[in-house]
Amino acid sequence: MQISGAQMVIEALIAEGVDTVFGYPGGAIMNVYDEIYKQKSFQHILTRHEQAAVHAAEGYAKASGKVGVAMITSGPGFTNAVTGLADAYMDSIPLVVISGQVPMSLIGTDAFQEIDAVGISRSCTKHNYLVTDAHDLPRILKEAFYIASSGRPGPVHVDIPKDVTAQIAEFNYAIELNLETYKPHTKGNPRQIKKAMEAIAKAKRPLFYVETFMARGTLSYDDELLISMLGMHGSYAANMAMSETDLVIGLGARFDDRVTGKLSEFAKNAGVIHVDIDPASISKLVKADYPIVGDVKNVVKEMLESIALVNPSRYESWRETIKNFDELHPLTYHEDSQRLKPQWVIQRVGELLGDSANISTDVGQHQMWAAQFYPFTRPRQWVSSGGLGTMGFGFPAAMGVKVASPDKISINFTGDGSILMNVQELMTAVEKKIPVINIILNNNYLGMVRQWQTLFYNKRHSETDLSHQPDFVKLAEAFGGIGYRVETKEQFDAALRDAVERNIVTFIDVVVERLENVMPMVPAGGSLFNMMLLERGEKK
């Protein structure tokens, strides 16, 4: 059928089964928004900032497993969205981000709201397109969704000039894709898998590397084989186990610097099995002795076919060693009778809500405490910004999470610094009735930066004191939400229960200990076995 480029965008979204688009209109994308107005097949959620639109699409994608979709205009609309693209790229989140562009005849003339969007997005997307002819639009959009969701997932950017959205052309979405240079390997090499299984059978102290910071919930918190996460703020047991293992079995993890610490000391007496769908990730930082390119799900199924090679009883002493590590320095904290500890707040939410909540975070100390202390029970329960570490991510991401999983309570753990970076989304949450509960762990500091300044800069707290703050309760109420200021355990319990019952967007401003540090901590570039630990003392 002959339709306009703008109509093609709508038809493609419908064909892909998209039920939600997050976005913000503007001149260059106006033809598409006119078609959005006419359709009733999916909902559009108007965020109050383009960065928030992409973060919301990320949260939706993480919680649902589907491709998230965001739509923005040209110029500053696009540049505002770049942080979200970069965040999704670092964390392998499947997105299709559609931007408007000035008409073809004006490209390169410094026209109003013109920016080289594809040039800017090239380094922070899995793939990108500038559509120069509406005839190509069906193929490009179909490719975009396929590329975003296959292989190692990631964001795909489609930039469409305004005159292309007005152009009439034939729409055929039943075309077969033929991407000669893009053929993801989903099945592992059988010979490599056999070698890996033989190595596991011979190992005395093997260690699965699967429960990374980003993968919390892959195993339930109470699984007897789970040692918690690894790395800079990982558990003592996990970091010591990695330091003493003789075989690392990495499944889908990328051995990033926050996990490995000093590379020359990382698992230096161990062989390495590395399974990843992205061949570029294998041996990128840590040399793999048994590299296996493939989808982890498929490779593990193939590995299990040779499970008879492995005798579990040979690992009993290794499990006992790890148990001793955990008992020597468990994840804990010292309580304070005068002021709430942030770790207690997170644990308490877990006690009261547990599996009924999905957990998003911003970036900082609260993020690490949430990863350490929340009792995760399932995949897709945990949504956070890992690779890019984006302050302002949590609130809009939690909105996307709630839209994707309306039957779950959407909690955003945030800090008094992070929450202000996308605070305008209070209006989105109120208007669209998205009841995110934002728990602000308020220590009047940019907490993580302050911690580093305390430990490594002789307590020179340069520009990290946030003592001058808005009244978060009044701020939430000004937008039409609800707010609570709490200083005691009893007040917190009452506020959380009321927020859940009232089911509208909420700020719970929790006054917590100002100088609390995230422990354990491996100093940047240090070895995993040289951790800074919590000073001795009993948890009361």
Query: Encoding tokens for residue 246?
Result: 């003789």
For the residues 99-118, what does the mean pLDDT come to?
97
Q: In terms of domains, do 12 and 154 share one?
A: yes
- Candidates 112, 268, 305, 433; catalytic one: 112
pLDDT confidence of 516, banded at 50, 70, 90?
very high
Active site residue 113: yes
- Residue 76 scores a pLDDT above 90: yes
Strand 482-486 and strand 506-511: pairing? Answer: parallel
Q: Which tens digit of pLDDT belongs to each residue from 458-484? A: 999 999 999 999 999 999 999 999 999
CATH number of the structural domain spanning residue 481: 3.40.50.970
Q: In terms of domains, do 372 and 502 share one?
A: yes
Identify whether 481 is part of a domain: yes
Domain boundaries, position 126: 2-170
Active site residue 50: yes
Q: In terms of domains, do 276 and 395 share one?
A: no
Q: In terms of domains, do 351 and 497 share one?
A: yes
- Candidates 50, 58, 302, 425; catalytic one: 50
DSSP secondary structure, 247-289, as one string: EEEEES----HHHHSSGGGTTTT-EEEEEES-GGGTTSSS--S
- Residue 179 scores a pLDDT above 60: yes
Q: Which tens digit of pLDDT belongs to each residue from 341-365? A: 999 999 999 999 999 999 999 999 9
> What is the structure's pLDDT at 337?
80
For the residues 514-521, what does the mean pLDDT come to?
97
Residue 16's nearest CA partner among 128, 96, 88, 91 is: 96
> What is the structure's pLDDT at 336?
84
Identify whether 439 is part of a domain: yes
Q: Which tens digit of pLDDT belongs to each residue from 143-165? A: 999 999 999 999 999 999 999 99
Q: In terms of domains, do 322 and 347 share one?
A: no
Q: In terms of domains, do 166 and 210 share one?
A: no
Identify whether 353 is part of a domain: yes
- Residue 540 scores a pLDDT above 50: no
- Candidates 42, 113, 262, 431; catalytic one: 113
Identify whether 103 is part of a domain: yes
Q: What are phi and psi of 441, to 5 degrees?
A: -85, 95
**% of the chain beyond a pLDDT of 90:** 97
Q: Cα dist. 426→38, 436, 438, 480 in Å?
A: 27, 9, 10, 8
Q: In terms of domains, do 44 and 19 share one?
A: yes
Residue at which a domain ends, from 297, 328, 359:
328
Q: Which tens digit of pLDDT belongs to each residue from 283-335? A: 999 999 999 999 999 999 999 999 998 998 999 999 999 999 999 999 999 99
DSSP state of 131: -
For the residues 194-213, what does the mean pLDDT come to?
95
Identify whether 183 is part of a domain: no
For the residues 9-31, what does the mean pLDDT come to?
98
Identify whether 132 is part of a domain: yes
Q: In terms of domains, do 357 and 438 share one?
A: yes
Burial class (CB in 10 A: 0-12, 13-18, 19+), 305: exposed
Q: In terms of domains, do 17 and 150 share one?
A: yes
- Candidates 62, 126, 142, 162; catalytic one: 162
Active site residue 391: no
For the residues 173-191, what does the mean pLDDT come to?
94
Q: In terms of domains, do 317 and 355 share one?
A: no
Identify whether 34 is part of a domain: yes
- Candidates 448, 519, 521, 531; catalytic one: 448
pLDDT confidence of 536, banded at 50, 70, 90?
low
Identify whether 60 is part of a domain: yes
For the residues 505-533, what does the mean pLDDT come to?
96
3-state secondary structure of 428: helix
Alpha-carbon torsion (93, 96, 102, 106), positive or negative:
positive
Q: What are phi and psi of 155, to 5 degrees?
A: -80, 140
Q: In terms of domains, do 451 and 393 share one?
A: yes
Average pLDDT, the chain: 96
> What is the structure's pLDDT at 513?
96
Question: How many C-beta neighbours within 10 Å does residue 146 have?
Answer: 16
E strand map for 392-537: 409-415, 437-442, 482-486, 506-511
CA angle 369, 374, 378 (to 5 degrees): 135
Total of domains in the chain: 3
Active site residue 112: yes
- Residue 240 scores a pLDDT above 80: yes
CATH number of the structural domain spanning residue 221: 3.40.50.1220
- Residue 537 scores a pLDDT above 60: no
Query: Encoding tokens for residue 155?
Result: 């964001």
Q: In terms of domains, do 260 and 289 share one?
A: yes
Q: Which tens digit of pLDDT belongs to each residue from 114-139? A: 999 999 999 999 999 999 999 999 99
